[in-house]
Structure 1
């Protein structure tokens, strides 16, 4: 394969990877608190190899940490972080992780979880609620209840949502799709993180923008495939001429 065809094929593979990222983002455009994956492509000098071909380019992925819009729901257990910050949760594998998803609910055992079943952490550990007649969450994340059988004025503050705000450069998206830092156990609660109650943060994916990007990538992919075909035809013509000589 000629250098031109080789480079076009490599670029086509990178475009396919980018398409997969955009497809994933588009599928999660309606997911609460979802952060879009970004596809990064970096150029590099051509590197000739033994068989006469050349390689160029490298790629990777990152995360768009920009905030989504705040949508009012009016539900007492819906909370959205305003500005920077994260909830600390227990992921499906039992390890600590970070989340912006605030569609909370209490399971039959009194454990506070999000809509995907991940346990919500408080400053004192996993949030476990005793029987109550009403529950409220303050803008600072304080969880208060009126114990079952008590007067409405007998409000008891149980815990505070574990709200943290590590530097963005320390954040890493793990293979399970959860965001973490290297040492989750060392994170300290940040009193400056605030939440909006009765609201949820929407995905930061723009469906229209993602669709436009998909179309652009598809056209670029087709152009690279055409380049490969043209290079192969050129190689075939050159080979024919060499035989005539």
Structure 2
């Protein structure tokens, strides 16, 4: 395959993946606790097509991962007593479908039919000991302190499990704004502050993402023109050789 065509196709593949990530960021601009993502790229050496002269290696573009910006998003006041947000580093711990611990910044909690504190889609919220949190609604309103204690009738009934990680790059995305710890070590986030009645919104900046989308589209079109020009040049060269 022609070297220029190989380089152009590698670039188009990364641009397509970049467009998918940007579109996903825009789609989640209003998703609580969502963290903006960026495609990580690097140059990669590869042998050229066989030739008698010219360079022996070329530089291709390779997409090797996705980076996430874990900076805190703006806090939105809701006034709902079971909505909570975190200021500072940390994640709430919830129980996944397979019983594994998952971590999220989405604090839109509620009570399920069994009196368990649950996420918006019904996953149990875990306390600082890794157990589900049970609340008896008949005992009155629940107050949540800045250190994550749930207080009812002036008595602490549970404490939210809030954890931090030294290496956020080791977290594994599991969908719905949640992460599995993977090889990362979870520690109690002693410095995190819990805000009752607030929800952390997405840290996506839509204008920046729309601008990035336009730039990606223009880059893709530019590479397409480059490939078309290369194909046309090859066609003319073959025609000249055929007439020779």
How high is the TM-score relative to the length of structure 2? 0.89
Aligned to 1:45: 45
Alignment of 1:199-238 (within 5 A): 199-238=198-237
Alignment of 1:117-196 (within 5 A): 117-124=122-129, 125-131=131-137, 132-146=139-153, 155-169=154-168, 171-176=170-175, 178-182=178-182, 187-196=186-195
Aligned to 1:151: none
Rounded to whole Å, the distance in 2 between the matches of 1:222 and 1:183 is 40
Rounded to whole Å, the distance in 1 between the matches of 2:235 and 2:49 is 22
Deviations for 1:91-142, whole angstroms, at most 9, x for unmatched residues?
2333111100111111111110121222111013111123422111111000
Aligned to 2:36: 36
Q: What secondary structure is seen at the aligned counterpart in 2 of 1:20?
A: helix
Alignment of 1:45-84 (within 5 A): 45-48=45-48, 56-59=60-63, 60-84=65-89
Structure 1: give runs of 5+ residues left out of the alignment: 147-154
Rounded to whole Å, the distance in 2 between the matches of 1:119 and 1:6 is 49
Deviations for 1:65-97, whole angstroms, at most 9, x for unmatched residues?
111111222222111100111111112333111
Rounded to whole Å, the distance in 1 between the matches of 2:90 and 2:68 is 15
Deviations for 1:168-210, whole angstroms, at most 9, x for unmatched residues?
34532335463222357x6342322211121111101111111
How many Å apart are 1:26 and its aligned residue?
0.7
Q: Count matched residues.
A: 236
Rounded to whole Å, the distance in 2 between the matches of 1:62 and 1:119 is 28
Rounded to whole Å, the distance in 2 between the matches of 1:7 and 1:37 is 25
Rounded to whole Å, the distance in 2 between the matches of 1:117 and 1:242 is 70
The answer to whether the Cα contact below 8 Å between 2:29 and 2:206 also exists between their aligned partners in 1 is yes
The answer to whether the Cα contact below 8 Å between 1:47 and 1:56 also exists between their aligned partners in 2 is no
Q: What secondary structure is seen at the aligned counterpart in 1 of 2:45?
A: coil
Aligned to 2:94: 89
Query: Aligned in 2, Cα 1:40/1:188: closer, same or farther, shift over 3 Å?
Result: closer
Aligned to 1:6: 6
Rounded to whole Å, the distance in 2 between the matches of 1:175 and 1:244 is 60
Q: Which moved more, 1:32-41 or 1:42-51?
A: 42-51
How many Å apart are 1:53 and its aligned residue?
9.6
Q: Which runs of 4+ in 1 moved over 4 A?
A: 49-55
Deviations for 1:218-242, whole angstroms, at most 9, x for unmatched residues?
1111111111111100111111122
Q: What secondary structure is seen at the aligned counterpart in 2 of 1:21?
A: helix
Rounded to whole Å, the distance in 1 between the matches of 2:96 and 2:19 is 28
The answer to whether the Cα contact below 8 Å between 1:166 and 1:187 also exists between their aligned partners in 2 is yes
The answer to whether the Cα contact below 8 Å between 1:6 and 1:53 also exists between their aligned partners in 2 is no
How large is the RMSD of aligned CA atoms in angstroms? 2.2
How many Å apart are 1:50 and its aligned residue?
6.0
Structure 2: give runs of 5+ residues left out of the alignment: none
